[in-house]
A and B are shown apart, each in its own frame.
Chain A
Amino acid sequence: MNIDHHGTFQRMIDESLAGVLSADKEQSLRAHLSSCAACGEYLSATNRVIAGLSGFSFEVNPALNARVMAAIRVQAEEDRGILARATGTMRQNSVPFRNWAAFAGALSLSFVGSELVYQMAARLTVPMQIDSAQLRAGVLAFWLLPSLCAALCLLAAPGQKRGLA
């Protein structure tokens, strides 16, 4: 066997150890190794190097685990505090349900009230022959819009003073 032939198989040994050699090539490598002392020695030498890599014994500070867990707990507590503050701020800034209910009620009353006012004004102003468009504009400007503004104010009302009561 020539040197190139050994070179090919020795390359295959490296590939096998790296875990990238295909199954059929692995088989042909095994067949070659069973009859080639030079490649067998190459494999042994490489295995000695690899075994050496596992022969080191690193010292780990025995207090490191406790230190890490303590740091994790502190960090988790801090994160929880930040989350609680953020949730509290969101709650403070959000419009409570009571305000929404008051707003919805006021909105309904505004529209129903506007319709009633319009009907009443239409009957009362029959003798004056006022145009219905003018009447609608009047009810819109002097009744509906102010009531809508009042309803919106309920949304922005602060805690203790909010609501219908």
Chain B
Amino acid sequence: MESDTQRIAVGLRRRDFAVLETLVEQYQYRLVRYLASLLGRRDGVDDLVQETWLRVLERGESYDGYSRFEPWLFRVARNIALDAMRKGPMFSLDSHEGDGVRSLPASGEPSPYTLAARTQDAERLAHSLQTLEPACREALVLRFQEDLSLQEISGIVGAPVSTVASRIYRGLAALRLQLEGYPA
């Protein structure tokens, strides 16, 4: 019997519009959230989302259907975002950890988390997130917002599982210190 992921893989290979439409509806919000947190800004995210789905259309046959779809989608989105960072002046890139993630919001522009905060606690968390190393923030978002395993995150960011784990510990420690007063 064909699993959901295998149905997706077959649909992508055939460039089935119905499958693509379902995927767009199902994953659009998470894609926007991931790209906004990756870039540290909301501006320009819609263009990258569109670019990501066009890449999915173009390279859909490379999804094997044996693993979950989300990590594959996020890896595509991440590559698109990194390309945009390298090409465009709108994003800054400072790859001190070797995987190319270093983004900052434009001066004066509120972060996507500040825009998405609905409570005072959320505003504090938004501020703390913005001060985190982007690589740690990305690891936290992928683990706790997107509910991905460390192996899946490792596949997306192209770093060893141990590195991803240490980013998560560092990120949690920093947020605990800022929000709960726990020393690291």
Contact = CB atoms under 8 A, between A and B. Distances in A.
Q: Chain B contact residues: over half helix, strand or loop, or mixed?
A: helix
Interface string B2-26: 0000000000000101001100110
A46 B176 contact: yes
A73 B176 CA distance: 46
B60 to A, nearest CB: 11
Interface in B1-56: 15, 17, 20-21, 24-25, 28-29, 32-33, 36, 46, 49-50, 53-54
Given A15-B165, A59-B116, A64 B144 contact: no
Given A54-B144, A65-B25, A14 B168 contact: yes
B180 A67 contact: no
Contacts of A116: none
Contacts of A50: 144, 172
Nearest to B56: A72
B118 A18 contact: no
Given A18-B169, A72-B53, A59 B115 contact: yes
A124 interface: no
A127 interface: no
A76 interface: yes
Contacts of A72: 17, 20, 24, 53-54, 57
Interface residues of A, number: 33
A52 B24 contact: no
B145 interface: yes
Nearest to B124: A52
A42 interface: yes
27 contacts: A11-B169, A14-B169, A14-B172, A18-B150, A18-B165, A19-B143, A19-B150, A52-B121, A52-B125, A53-B140, A55-B125, A56-B118, A56-B126, A57-B116, A57-B118, A58-B112, A58-B116, A59-B115, A67-B46, A67-B50, A68-B24, A69-B21, A71-B50, A72-B57, A76-B15, A76-B17, A76-B57
Interface of A: 11, 14-15, 17-20, 42, 45-46, 48-50, 52-61, 64-65, 67-69, 71-73, 75-76
